[in-house]
Amino acid sequence: MNRKSFLLGALALTLAGPALAQTMAPSVDQPVTITFYNYNLGSAGIGAEATKKLLNEFMAEHPNITVEGVPYSSADGSRIQADLAAGLPVDMVQTVFSDLDFAVHNWGAKALEDIAPADEMAAHFEGMSPNGLKLGVLDGKTYGLAYTFSTPILFYNADLFRQAGLDPDSPPKTWAAVKDAAIAIKEKTGKEGFAAGITGPSAADWLFQGVVRSNGGEVISRDRKTLKFGEPEAIEAVAMLRDLHDAGVYENLDISGAMEGMAAGNVGMYLQTSAVQGVLVAGAKDKFDLRASTMPSFGEKPVRPNNSGSALTIHTADPVKQRAAWELMKFLTSKHGYTIITSEIGYLPLRTDIVDDPQYLGDWVKSHPLVQPNLEQLAVLEPWDPMPGPNYRQIVKTMMDAVEMSVFGGADVAATMADAQANAQALMP
Amino acid sequence: MTIASAAPPRLRRMTQSRWAPWLYLSPALITLVVWIYWPLVDAVRLSFYQWNMLPNSPQLFVGWDNYQRIFALPKFWQALRNTGVYIAGLLPLAVLIPLAIAIYTHDLPARSRNVYRAIIFVPMIIAPVVAAAVWRWLLDPGYGLANQAIKGVGLEPVKFLSDPKVAIWTVILITGWKLMGFSTLILAAANANINPSLIEAARMDGASKWEVIRDVRLPLLSSTVLFLVVMTILLGAQWSFTYINVLTGGGPLGSTTNIYYLLWDFGFSTMSVGWGSAAAVILFLGFGALAFVLFRLIDRYSFHDN
């Protein structure tokens, strides 16, 4: 079995050998089936319907290509790994950005520069946000195209703002202002001042990375060798969150608790991915005035948010399948694709030029003003750094456990973060 | 067949007597080796490697690294303490209450006894994930039925799953609620097996109802009780896994993490087979030692009818 797959691999390598750059076939002339591992398909929500719709449209346009959607859970990649280990074809994946390093080094994600003709890439990237394109770049190569992604948004309840004597037309822009507003809301209305999806079992580290970066720090060095979340800038950022908790305005609610609290009108401000917008809008309808602002900054320092969400990655080594996957990738990240993704799943368009175009998102954006801060942040968006090596998830967990203990658990912030950094550094490759 | 019959009769009988038992045993032995011993040995081997189970990636020998990392996890010791809390909290729910129910319901009329025991047993047959989801609705701090009742009598709502001090007891109670039926069933069966003539004899000697329970039933139930105690100690923390996974994810602040959940979380979220195997070996040795002691205790303290 092993020898057979080795021989097959060697054969594929020799076949691919002569054309080392751009291995994919020029076109798909015979029927081909590709698998697409997609976590939206695994959820019962609207994401699955919109995804199926896009896949069906694609197959109608490309009669030779059959796309087999495989649902998987983004919480752990074990389905993908198990299928790869079993020798099943994993051709294209909707990869969470924090898994990107692992996907490249273990799941054989291919750099687009290595498989796709340069002119086709250039033509397709036309009109895409340069910051958005950078999100899927690792070690200088484009491994993924941002697919369903979003930015951190400060949702706020304008009614609670009014009751607390705050001006809902000038939402807090800095963390200091967030604290003042939260205290006012807590004192005047008795509701929760502030909630955030920074910590918690399913939060991962995307929001935390943006908070640290906005304070001039980073969780991992640019050469991706040294962890830095125990350094002064990061500690200061964690201490700021701790201060919010100590002031009594930032409780350790779990993800669904915070989201439902905000949707029910019991929370003043809520920092979370724009992807939850649909739930909040549904909860606020006819009950309270839901508004949105950009992520808060540390004083005068610039806000440096990063994205959450996923990229599309191509994993197949077969030239014809690569072509089929590339066509699917182009379709899903086309103007039409992003229109569906933004308006029906609730993410962001990587193509900013469709936002004002009435043929695409123009009317939708006008009737959905909450998406505006998201679009503003697209201009300053930075990549969500994936942790390297086989223990990357353990690194993220060690870091986020320390953050939670520091903010909510009463632990000494500097010592806890430094300790966790030392522990996690030992897990780096 | 023809070859066999051509062979000298004496030799055939000898061969048969030497190999036949092994031949008959072989299906069982092969299954045992393939499914139990070989995985055990291979887990020990893999615990010294770093590998992610992909056939195309190399197995990297890392010595004791995996073990060191597990022991260096800040949450490891917290999880170990929590495991103790889980076991201590589950013992009354999985042994004492079922024992009381089994003995009490024994004297009920057959019809109401069966109805009552069926009610107790129902939680056992509900799928754990479904049960967990229902409990989450019931315990929700905002709209959950439990908190509506608490608010109804004018008290502050309890954060059953998000207060670090309360969450572990919530998970213990749910696990215990689920287990109670099973333990009751086992104990009721053992109780029904007690020879009625012993009870009769005690009564004739003038023993009161309580004296019959204390001096006849409990000693005769002791081996079953000890068996359930051992099961709870060895597996109790494992039974709560589903509820931890669905309800709390080990949080808040790691307060509901136990040793099984932690090792699964760190070992399997990336299919890092080295971590997972090292964790399994640690659990195997730790609980193996515990089981050895406990089974010695059972042999010593249980009382048999005959």
- pLDDT tens sequence across A168-197: 999 999 999 999 999 999 999 989 999 999
Contact assessment for residue A301 and residue A232, using Cβ atoms and an 8 Å cutoff: no
Give how far B51 is from chain A: nearest CA, Å.
8
**Element (DSSP H or E) covering residue A383:** none
Which residue range(s) make up the domain with A295?
152-305+389-425
Cis peptide before B252 (omega within 30 of 0): yes
Task: For residue B169, name the pLDDT band (cuts at 50, 70, 90).
Answer: very high
pLDDT score, position A387 = 93
Do B52 and A5 lie within an 8 Å CB cutoff? Answer: no
Strand, helix or coil at A352?
helix
Do B248 and A82 lie within an 8 Å CB cutoff? Answer: no
pLDDT score, position B147 = 86
Q: Report the range of poorest mean pLDDT among A288-302, A381-395, B91-105, B140-154.
A: B140-154
Rounded Cα distance between A311 and A147, Å, is 5
Domain covering B73-301: architecture: Orthogonal Bundle (1.10)
Task: For residue A397, name the pLDDT band (cuts at 50, 70, 90).
Answer: confident
Pairing label, strands A137-138, A141-142:
antiparallel
In this complex, is the C-beta atom of A272 within 8 Å of any C-beta atom belonging to chain B?
Answer: no
Is residue A1 assigned to a domain?
no
pLDDT score, position A8 = 47
Pairing label, strands A192-196, A92-96:
unpaired
Task: For residue A19, name the pLDDT band (cuts at 50, 70, 90).
Answer: very low
In this complex, is the C-beta atom of B134 within 8 Å of any C-beta atom belonging to chain A?
Answer: no
Rounded Cα distance between B135 and B242, Å, is 12
Q: Whose structure tokens read 């223990």?
A: A391
Rounded Cα distance between B192 and A334, Å, is 72
Burial class of B197 by CB neighbour count within 10 A (0 to 12, 13 to 18, 19+):
exposed
Burial class of A341 by CB neighbour count within 10 A (0 to 12, 13 to 18, 19+):
buried
> CATH code at A137?
3.40.190.10
Q: Report the range of poorest mean pLDDT among A203-207, A267-271, A400-404, B162-166.
A: B162-166
- Edge-first strand order for the sheet with A144-150 is A65-71, A32-38, A92-96, A308-314, A144-150
In this complex, is the C-beta atom of A397 within 8 Å of any C-beta atom belonging to chain B?
Answer: yes
In this complex, is the C-beta atom of A73 within 8 Å of any C-beta atom belonging to chain B?
Answer: no
Give how far B3 is from chain A: nearest CA, Å.
36
CA dihedral (B9, B11, B13, B17) in degrees, to 10, reads -170
Q: What is the mean pLDDT of chain B?
A: 85
User: Does the pLDDT value for residue A7 go beyond 60?
Assistant: no
Kindly provide the b/e burial profile for residues B134-172, where b requires at least 16 CB atoms within 10 angstroms of the residue's own CB.
ebbeebbbeebebbeebeeeeeeebbbbbbbebbbebbb
pLDDT score, position A1 = 41
Do B266 and A397 lie within an 8 Å CB cutoff? Answer: yes
User: Does the pLDDT value for residue A42 go beyond 60?
Assistant: yes
Q: Which tokens is A316 given?
A: 């197949």
Please tell me which residue, B166 or B159, carries the higher pLDDT value.
Answer: B166
Contact assessment for residue A115 and residue A322, using Cβ atoms and an 8 Å cutoff: yes
User: Does the pLDDT value for residue B92 go beyond 80?
Assistant: yes
Q: Which tokens is A357 given?
A: 């175009």
Q: C-alpha distances in angstroms, A4 versus A1, A250, A262, A428?
A: 5, 57, 56, 33
CB atoms within 10 A of CB B301: 11
Q: C-alpha distances in angstroms, A191 versus A159, A255, A365, B298?
A: 12, 18, 31, 56
Task: Report the complex ipTM.
Answer: 0.72
Chain A partners of B141 at a C-beta cutoff of 8 Å? 257
Residues A275 and A174 in one domain: yes
Q: Whose structure tokens read 């307060």?
A: B255
Residues A316 and A356 in one domain: yes
Contact assessment for residue A383 and residue A389, using Cβ atoms and an 8 Å cutoff: no
Please tell me which residue, A145 or B51, carries the higher pLDDT value.
Answer: A145
Report which of B39, B38, B65 is spatially closest to residue B278, judged by C-alpha positions: B65
User: Does the pLDDT value for residue A9 go beyond 60?
Assistant: no
Instruction: Identify the closest residue of chain B to A75 by CA–CA distance.
Output: B269
Instruction: Identify the closest residue of chain A to B254 by CA–CA distance.
Output: A401
Could you report the per-residue pLDDT of A236-253, keeping only the tens digit for each?
A: 999 999 999 999 999 888
Report which of A97, A54, A80, A104 is spatially closest to residue A330, judged by C-alpha positions: A54
Rounded Cα distance between A355 and A379, Å, is 14
Do A401 and B75 lie within an 8 Å CB cutoff? Answer: yes
Is residue A7 assigned to a domain?
no
For residues A150-156, average pLDDT: 92
Rounded Cα distance between A121 and A115, Å, is 10
Q: Report the range of poorest mean pLDDT among A24-38, A87-101, A142-156, A274-288.
A: A274-288
In this complex, is the C-beta atom of B58 within 8 Å of any C-beta atom belonging to chain A?
Answer: no
pLDDT score, position B305 = 60
Residues A233 and A338 in one domain: no
Could you report the per-residue pLDDT of A105-120, keeping only the tens digit for each?
A: 888 899 999 999 999 9
Q: Which of A397, A403, A405, A417 to mutate to test the interface with B (most CBs of B within 10 A)?
A: A397
Contact assessment for residue A399 and residue A211, using Cβ atoms and an 8 Å cutoff: no
pLDDT score, position B1 = 42
pLDDT score, position A18 = 40
Is residue A18 assigned to a domain?
no
Sign of CA dihedral B202, B207, B210, B214: negative
Name the DSSP class of A226: S
Give the number of domains in chain A: 2
Could you report the per-residue pLDDT of A65-100, keeping only the tens digit for each?
A: 999 999 988 777 778 888 888 889 999 999 999 999
Q: C-alpha distances in angstroms, A322 versus A325, B64, B72, B221?
A: 5, 41, 43, 67
Contact assessment for residue A274 and residue A371, using Cβ atoms and an 8 Å cutoff: yes
Is residue A320 assigned to a domain?
yes
In degrees rounded to 5, what are phi and psi of residue B163? -95, 120
Give how far A257 is from chain B: nearest CA, Å.
8
Alpha helices, DSSP H, located in A142-227? 158-163, 175-189, 206-214
Give how far B47 is from chain A: nearest CA, Å.
15
Could you report the per-residue pLDDT of B21-61, keeping only the tens digit for each?
A: 889 999 999 999 999 999 999 999 999 998 877 777 788 89
In this complex, is the C-beta atom of B52 within 8 Å of any C-beta atom belonging to chain A?
Answer: yes
Chain centre to alpha carbon of residue A145: 12
pLDDT score, position B90 = 94
CA dihedral (A259, A263, A265, A271) in degrees, to 10, reads 40
Q: Which distant-in-sequence residues (6+ apart) come within 8 Å of B54 by Cβ?
A: A81, A84, A85, A106, A107
Could you report the per-residue pLDDT of B199-242, keeping only the tens digit for each?
A: 889 989 988 888 988 888 888 888 899 889 988 988 888 889 98
In this complex, is the C-beta atom of A364 within 8 Å of any C-beta atom belonging to chain B?
Answer: no
Rounded Cα distance between A335 and A358, Å, is 12
Rounded Cα distance between B139 and A156, Å, is 27
Give how far A91 is from chain B: nearest CA, Å.
16
Kindly provide the b/e burial profile for residues B55-73, where b requires at least 16 CB atoms within 10 angstroms of the residue's own CB.
eebeeeebeebbbebbeeb
- 3-state per-residue secondary structure call for B252-279: CCCCCCCHHHHHHHHHHCCCCHHHHHHH
Is residue A407 assigned to a domain?
yes
Could you report the per-residue pLDDT of A339-349, keeping only the tens digit for each?
A: 998 888 778 88
CB atoms within 10 A of CB A138: 22
Is residue A6 assigned to a domain?
no
Q: Whose structure tokens read 């969150």?
A: A241
Chain centre to alpha carbon of residue B232: 6
Is residue A102 assigned to a domain?
yes
Is residue A252 assigned to a domain?
yes
Q: Which of A393, A404, A407, A421 to mutate to test the interface with B (most CBs of B within 10 A)?
A: A393
Sign of CA dihedral A360, A362, A363, A367: positive
Neighbouring-strand partners of residue A210:
none
Q: Which tokens is A281 given?
A: 């809008």
Could you report the per-residue pLDDT of A358-394, keeping only the tens digit for each?
A: 889 888 888 888 888 888 888 899 999 999 988 888 8
Give how far A383 is from chain B: nearest CA, Å.
22
Chain B partners of A391 at a C-beta cutoff of 8 Å? 270, 272, 275
Percent of chain A with pLDDT over 90: 57
Task: For residue B13, name the pLDDT band (cuts at 50, 70, 90).
Answer: low
Q: At what angle do helices A206-214 and A232-246 cross, to 10 degrees?
A: 110
Q: What is the mean pLDDT of chain A?
A: 88
Q: Which tokens is A423 given?
A: 């522990």
